[in-house]
Structure 1
């Protein structure tokens, strides 16, 4: 389970509602506390049972690089409402939401896109569908196809238990024991409970189905000319480090392994993760500008 390192928002980070033609999305927006926005913005997409709060520990470091950085709740997640229609929660449908969010946030500029875990599969759809021009794409702790290992077991439990036993049962028998075993503070336990109970059960089940059955689209992604980074913890228990390393090689993408991290380097090693993202984003922007000047 990923747990935000803290829930108090640092200076420069504020809750927002992002209005799009496809609906309103809850977000956390980070802006530089000093200086001006001089670089392209970034959009951060959370995983299956996560939310925008999973990025709190990296938001201000990323924003201090001169960017507007926005973390969102996907449709049906936590504070973003969603319908009971199962078709709203397929990866292509959620990818279309990401497309629209990026277009609104970018305001005409390319956007750096980061997808964590299931969010990486969703974000990949947005990159492949070609509707939006992205400055770069980062797959964070996200693999080429269906999730593996212990997290696949957890996903199957969601499929089995949420429709018949409900979210409260899943909390008391899965999420709460995990949080207590990891000595999570009372404040964060209360937050995790509120977050799980705020999810659309339909969304949670449909997203679990997607993460357990997703096909490999690596070859399609490679055809898209966007700078790509594969970043993961050295002890990842979702997609194995070997699986993600092989995916990076197939993509011809840069690969960063975060020492000591498991499945959420944004929470477990925020400074290392933020530094890697900033360096990658800066290089992607420089490459774009150099390419444009050569064309001109």
Structure 2
């Protein structure tokens, strides 16, 4: 089980509530502690059982590149409330939330979009639906179709047990044993329990179903003219690294393999991950400006 390295917010990072036509979303906002915001902002979308806190270790470094960086909780996830309507938790519905958030965060500027794991599937919907023009798109530890391996088995248990047996059961039967086996510090264990129990049981179950049944939309994504990065850990146990590499090749996307990382590069190798994102974002902005100049 991957956990944030620390829960104390670093300088320049603060909790926020972002108001959109789709509702209010809990967020962590990072701005440069020195210098000014001079580059396009970024929006970070977490995975199935994650939250905005999964990006804590990279937020300050990303913001210091001259950007406003916003990590969010999805609808029904941790500190963002959600309804008991299963239809609110499809990838398409959550993608519409991402569209609304990007338009508020960008405030007229293009936004760099990053989706981790299930968040990548949600963010992919926002890119493909065409409602928002994004500056770039990063699939972080997120594959082309349904998740595989032991994480697929865990997803099936969440889908079946969350709405019937409750989140406390899910915590006791899966998350707590994993945390204890990994010698996770007590304060982090407490946070993980608090976070899981704050989720919407209906939302968590429906999102688990989505990550288990999503269809491959690589061909559709390839049709969108957007700089794309596929970034994953060399030991990813969600989508096989080969599958993510093949997806990157089909998309004509940049591909970064993070040494030593598993399924959560932003937690397991934050400096490497942040450096790769900043490098990619800077190149995407330069390409946009060069293209605009040549068209004038």
Q: How big is the shift at 1:161?
A: 1.5
CA distance in 2, matches of 1:202, 1:60: 33
The answer for the alignment partner of 1:295 in structure 2 is 295
Structure-1 residue corresponding to 2:228: 228
Runs of 4+ in structure 1 deviating by more than 3 angstroms, as ranges, are: none
Deviates more, 1:163-172 or 1:77-86: 163-172
User: Alpha carbon RMSD of aligned pairs, Å?
Assistant: 0.5
Partner of 1:75: 75
SS of the counterpart of 2:225? Answer: coil
Shift in Å, 1:162: 1.4
Residues 1:130 and 2:151 are matched in the alignment: no
1:140 paired to 2:161 = no
2:116 & 2:159 partners in 1: Cα distance? 21
Find the counterpart in structure 2 of residue 210 from structure 1.
210
Post-superposition shift, 1:17?
A: 0.2
- By how many angstroms is 1:46 displaced? 0.1
1:28 aligns with 2:20: no
Deviations 1:224-262 (A, max 9, x none): 000000000000000000000000000000000000000
Whole-angstrom CA distance in 2 between matches of 1:163 and 1:54:
24
Question: 2-side partners of 1:111 and 1:64: how far apart?
Answer: 16
Query: Would the aligned equivalents of 1:52 and 1:71 in 2 still touch at CA under 8 Å?
Result: yes
Separation of aligned partners in 2, 1:137 and 1:223: 13
Q: Which residue of 2 aligns with 1:40?
A: 40
Deviation at 1:165, TM superposition (A): 1.2
The alpha carbon displacement at 1:164 in A equals 2.0
Match of 1:180 in 2: 180
User: Whole-Å Cα distance in 2 between the matches of residues 226 and 186 of structure 1?
Assistant: 42
Tell me the secondary structure at the aligned position of residue 230 of structure 1: strand
Q: Taking structure 1 as the reference length, what is the TM-score of the superposition?
A: 0.99
Question: Matches of 1:78 and 1:2 in 2, distance apart?
Answer: 17
Match of 1:239 in 2: 239
**How far apart, in 1, do the equivalents of 2:159 and 2:209 lie?**
7
Quick check: 1:2–1:50 contact (8 Å CA) kept in 2?
Answer: no
Aligned partners of 1:138 and 1:231 also within 8 Å: yes
Structure 1 unaligned segments of length 5 or more: list them. Answer: none
- Say how many residue pairs are matched: 296
